[in-house]
Structure 1
Amino acid sequence: MRSVPIVVFFALAIISRDGGAYAAAPQVRTQAPGFYRMMLGRFEITALLDGTHPFPVHEVMTRNESVSSGERKAVRLAETHPGKAEALLAASDLPAPVEGSINAFLVNTGQKLILIDSGAGSLYGACCGHLVENLGAAGYKPEQIDEIYLTHLHADHVGGMAPQGTPAFPNAIVRVNQKDLDYWLNAKNENEAPKFLRPMFEGDRASLKPYSEAGRLKSFSEGLELSPGIRAIPTPGHTPGHTSYEVSSEGKTLLVWGDLVHVAPIQFPDPAITVTYDSDPMSAEAERTEIFAQAARTGTWIAAAHIAFPGIGHVRSVDGQFEWLPANYTTVLNPAHD
Structure 2
Amino acid sequence: MGMVDAARQQVAGVYHRQVGDILVTALHDGYQDAPLSTVHGMAEAEAAAMLRAAFRPVPRRTNVSCFLIRSGGRVALVDAGCGPSKPTVGRLPANLAAAGVAPGAVEAVLMTHLHPDHFGGLSDGAGTAAFPHAELALHEAEHAYWHDDAAMAAADPARQKMFFQGARTHLAPYAARTRLFSSGEVFPGVTALPLPGHTPGHTGFLVASGGASLLLWGDIIHVQELQVPRPEVTMAVDVDPDQAITTRRRVFDQVATDRQAFAGAHLHFPALAHLARTPQGYALVPDAFTLALEGDAP
With the length of structure 2 as denominator, give the TM-score of the two structures.
Answer: 0.94
* Partner SS, residue 161 of structure 1: coil
**What is the alpha-carbon distance in structure 1 between the residues aligned to residue 190 and residue 241 of structure 2?**
27
Q: Does 1:92 align with 2:84?
A: no
The unaligned stretches of length 5 or more in structure 1 are: 1-17, 64-76
Question: How many correspondences in the alignment?
Answer: 295
Aligned residue in 2 for 1:227: 187
Aligned-residue identity in percent: 35
Q: Does 1:192 align with 2:154?
A: yes
Match among 55, 62, 65 for residue 40 of structure 2: 62
Check conservation: 2:17, 2:295, Cα contact below 8 A.
no
Cα separation, partners in 2 of 1:174 and 1:278, compared to 1, 3 Å: same
**What is the alpha-carbon distance in structure 2 between the residues aligned to residue 313 and residue 91 of structure 1?**
21
Q: Does 1:300 align with 2:260?
A: yes
Alignment of 1:134-283 (within 5 A): 134-165=95-126, 166-198=128-160, 199-212=162-175, 215-221=176-182, 223-283=183-243
With the length of structure 1 as denominator, give the TM-score of the two structures.
Answer: 0.83
Check conservation: 1:155, 1:204, Cα contact below 8 A.
yes
**What is the alpha-carbon distance in structure 1 between the residues aligned to residue 295 and residue 288 of structure 2?**
16
> How far is the alpha carbon of 1:227 from its aligned partner?
2.2
> How far is the alpha carbon of 1:26 from its aligned partner?
5.5
Greater fraction helix: 1
**What is the alpha-carbon distance in structure 1 between the residues aligned to residue 286 and residue 77 of structure 2?**
21
> How far is the alpha carbon of 1:98 from its aligned partner?
2.9
Q: Does 1:39 align with 2:24?
A: no
Aligned residue in 2 for 1:103: 65
Residues 18-66 of structure 1 deviation map (CA, whole Å, 9 limit, x = unaligned): 9xx95xx66433111111111111110100011112132x111111xxx
Check conservation: 2:193, 2:206, Cα contact below 8 A.
yes
Check conservation: 1:40, 1:335, Cα contact below 8 A.
no
Check conservation: 1:41, 1:335, Cα contact below 8 A.
no
* Partner SS, residue 83 of structure 1: helix
**What is the alpha-carbon distance in structure 1 between the residues aligned to residue 267 and residue 295 of structure 2?**
25
Check conservation: 1:244, 1:255, Cα contact below 8 A.
yes
**What is the alpha-carbon distance in structure 1 between the residues aligned to residue 94 and residue 230 of structure 2?**
36
* Partner SS, residue 293 of structure 1: helix
* Partner SS, residue 136 of structure 2: strand
* Partner SS, residue 104 of structure 1: strand
